[in-house]
Structure 1
């Protein structure tokens, strides 16, 4: 019997389901924080929260602390080959933009195309 805690390859614990929570890579977080910084400087956003779940990583932005998130940026790797793993979701739960490339999805926040309505 081995003292190694790693299960043997090909066993029931093998696969993506046991890989741990989904989270953002450094490059992805850098792109998201650039948009966040721009919106904070414009006075539109004031707070954020990040969380990694088993199937999704979420970056939520808030207009005021304690409110419901104004927008959520989600990463769902399981959807990469379908609609794309990235989505920007509005306050009411509607998907504003979905795609395979994060920088393309974040363009929904470009000042030329996007206005925050209170």
Structure 2
């Protein structure tokens, strides 16, 4: 069953020349709606391990994950109604240059950037200080 009317005798359907083009479906989908950048499981495990430690210390309380076409962002909050304290970003366009991963503070200053997420997350490691009494 078709949406087109029945043909009377002697009529034949002409093929529309505009519909005869072959289109690569993968290329069409990539151009139409590229997939967002996401964190891989191991990357998210490393981030959540740091997040859990900081929640245990009472410094962080909430987080949000954003996946855009350009980058993936893990935002950390002290309180959910505020601006994020830190943003852990993955930007694949910078992978060949400065490194895909970065930690950005509330003011927009990049605290650490690199190719290896575990090295970038070391910015959250506490340094023990000598206290004299």
Taking structure 1 as the reference length, what is the TM-score of the superposition? 0.82
Q: 1:99 aligns with which of 105, 110, 114?
A: 114
Equivalent residue for 2:4? none
Whole-Å separation in 1 of the counterparts to 2:99 and 2:106: 21
Structure 1's unaligned 5+ residue stretches are 1-6, 114-118
How many angstroms apart in 1 are the aligned matches of 2:107 and 2:26?
42
Question: Which residue of structure 2 aligns with residue 70 of structure 1?
Answer: 85
Matching of residues 28-107 of structure 1 within 5 Å: 28-107=43-122
Please tell me whether Structure 1 or Structure 2 has the larger radius of gyration of its CA atoms.
Answer: 2
Runs of 4+ in 1 over 4 A off after TM superposition: 14-18
Q: Which runs of 5+ in 2 are unaligned?
A: 1-22, 129-133
Q: Pick from 6, 20, 24: which aligns with 1:8?
A: 24
1:109 aligns with 2:113: no
Q: Which has the higher contact order (CA 8 A, sep 6+)?
A: 1
Output the CA distance in 2 between the equivalents of 1:18 and 1:77.
17
Deviation per residue, 1:3-33 (Å, 9 max, x gap): xxxx51785x476895400011100000000
Secondary structure of the corresponding residue to residue 63 of structure 2: strand
